[in-house]
Structure 1
Amino acid sequence: MNPAWLFRMSKRARRPPSAARVKLVFGVIIAALVIIAIEQMGWWPDWATAERMPRKF
């Protein structure tokens, strides 16, 4: 394991993130899951779907 990761983990253990930061992260994750669920159910509008561009070599 990279020593930088060990230092980062020790910093997180000593100073955990605030409640607001945790709520923000969970909010973003929930928003992404809602968007994925809407798209899977077929309720996502066509205008919001990106079209794939063909690759030109």
Structure 2
Amino acid sequence: MNNLLWFLRASQWARNPPSARRVKLVLFVILVIVAIVVLEKLGWWPEWAQMERGRRAVLPR
């Protein structure tokens, strides 16, 4: 059932493709995310911008 919804969405995109401006925006956002991940993996991400790792919440059973 879920595959049918994806096929319907793909057919709508084929009939009405996104504008070039929207494609550029999405690619820019993806590029920024990849850059942040790479900087963090290399250790060049500033200390003040890192999240503190707290204790994990224990859910009651």
Q: Same fold (TM over 0.5)?
A: yes
Give percent identity, aligned residues only: 51
Count of residues in Structure 1 that have an aligned counterpart in Structure 2: 57
Instruction: Return the TM-score normalized by structure 2.
Output: 0.79
Structure with higher RCO (Cα < 8 A, 6+ apart): 2
- Partner deviation per Cα, 1:5-25 (whole Å, 9 max, x = no partner): 221111001111100010001
Instruction: Return the TM-score normalized by structure 1.
Output: 0.83
**Cα offset for 1:29?**
0.7
Structure 1 segments (4+ residues) deviating >3 Å: none
1 CA distance for matches of 2:57 and 2:41? 30
**Cα offset for 1:56?**
4.1
What amino acid maps onto 2:42 in structure 1? Answer: M
Query: Where in structure 2 are there 5+ consecutive unaligned residues?
Result: none
Query: What is the root-mean-square deviation of aligned Cα atoms in Å?
Result: 1.4
1:18 matched to which residue of 2? 19
Q: 1:5 aligns to what SS in structure 2?
A: helix
Query: Where in structure 1 are there 5+ consecutive unaligned residues?
Result: none
